[in-house]
């Protein structure tokens, strides 16, 4: 596998129900990981983009969280319907999706 130009980390942390911090796993992180992987495959971006499921990325109550490098862009409250826009606008065109980015006080 060639070295990816872009690395996308998707928090898949799961905590017990009722945990005070919540978790991305409880808010649909697996679906986001799957949707991102499918978009990368559909667009044949394997040599450019790597999608990796991770543990906690920080703001658990704002999940699912998606972190994109280079640039350290943290997307919060990502929904499956946001994935195509993130891929097209950020991963392909290079322009972060501002309305989905974590505010400065979180990241």
pLDDT digits (tens, 9 = 90+) for 53-88: 999 998 988 999 999 999 999 999 999 999 999 999
How many domains is the chain partitioned into structurally? 1
* Beta-carbon contacts of residue 1 (< 8 Å; ≥ 6 apart): 46, 50
pTM for the structure as a whole: 0.93
Q: State the DSSP code for 92.
A: I
pLDDT of residue 18: 82
* 36 lies in some domain: yes
At 6, is the pLDDT very low, low, confident or very high (cuts 50, 70, 90)?
A: very high
* 41 lies in some domain: yes
pLDDT of residue 47 exceeding 80, the answer is yes
- The average confidence (pLDDT) of the chain is 94
* Exposure string over 31-57, b if 16+ CB within 10 A, otherwise e: ebbebbbebbeeeebeeebbbebbeeb
* 21 lies in some domain: yes
Range of the domain at 13: 6-100
């Amino acid at each position: 596998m060639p070295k990816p130009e872009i690395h996308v980390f998707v928090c898949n942390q799961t905590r017990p129900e009722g945990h005070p911090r919540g978790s991305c796993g409880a808010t649909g992180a697996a679906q986001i990981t799957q949707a991102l992987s499918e978009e990368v495959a559909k667009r044949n971006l394997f040599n450019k983009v790597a999608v990796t499921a991770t543990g906690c990325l920080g703001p658990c109550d704002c999940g699912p969280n998606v972190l994109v490098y280079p640039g350290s862009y943290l997307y919060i409250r990502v929904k499956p319907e946001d994935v195509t826009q993130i891929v097209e606008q950020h991963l392909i065109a290079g322009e972060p999706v501002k309305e989905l980015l974590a505010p400065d006080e979180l990241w």
